[in-house]
A = this chain, B = another copy of it.
Amino acid sequence: MPDNSGAPSGQSLLFLTDEQLRKGIEAMFFAYRGFTADPDRILAEHGYGRAHHRAVHFIHRAPGTTVNNLLNILGVTKQSLNRVLRTLIDDGLVESRVGAQDKRERHLFLTEKGGALEAALSEAQRGRMRTAYRAAGPEAVQGFRTVLEAMMEADMRGHYEKMKEKT
């Protein structure tokens, strides 16, 4: 359905030479590193890693989400996630409440302290994103988002739009 053969699409370059693609691949690599650099610094001060960041991020975004829910989003094993959650709970950043209907489930919430960390991490990352967006301009941002959406796994498309609401 792309059909770039019959429709030059007005613009100029969609050669897609291996060279072009290679540049895109490397840009992705370097950009992702820059993208995570600021949060990584903050996390290191607290003795945490990226796994903690991801957990805190998605709990903030969907308070009351269950462990299983988080598992599907993050794409890791429950054992791996559990270790991270345990430290966050022990440190008083996350609260785990037994489910009302289904007592097997645990619903996760950020405490005030956890919310503070989330805010710090989020602000650092938004800062870099904002700077990049401003430098690139609105049209570039639109293109950026379009390509990223096409790049992610099909079963993840839309997960960042609305997470399952099973609160």
Which residues of chain A have a CB within 8 Å of any CB of chain B?
A: 2, 4, 9-14, 16, 18, 21-35, 37, 54, 61, 75, 122, 125-126, 128-153, 156-157, 159-161
Contacts and interface: CB of A to CB of B under 8 A. Distances in A.
Contacts of A153: 30, 33-34, 37
Given A9-B137, A24-B129, A133-B16, A142 B145 contact: no
Contact of A14 (B16, B125, B138, B148): B138
Given A24-B129, A35-B151, 12 more contacts: A9-B137, A10-B138, A16-B134, A18-B126, A22-B61, A25-B129, A27-B148, A30-B152, A33-B153, A128-B151, A136-B143, A143-B143
- Which has the most chain B C-beta neighbours within 10 Å: A24, A141, A144, A159? A144
Nearest to A156: B30
22 contacts: A2-B135, A12-B138, A13-B142, A14-B138, A16-B130, A21-B126, A21-B133, A25-B129, A27-B152, A28-B32, A28-B35, A30-B148, A30-B152, A30-B153, A31-B148, A33-B152, A33-B153, A132-B150, A140-B143, A143-B146, A144-B147, A144-B148
B27 A160 contact: yes
- Which has the most chain B C-beta neighbours within 10 Å: A9, A10, A140? A140
State the main secondary structure of chain A at its contact with B. helix
Given A138-B13, A140-B147, A33 B2 contact: no
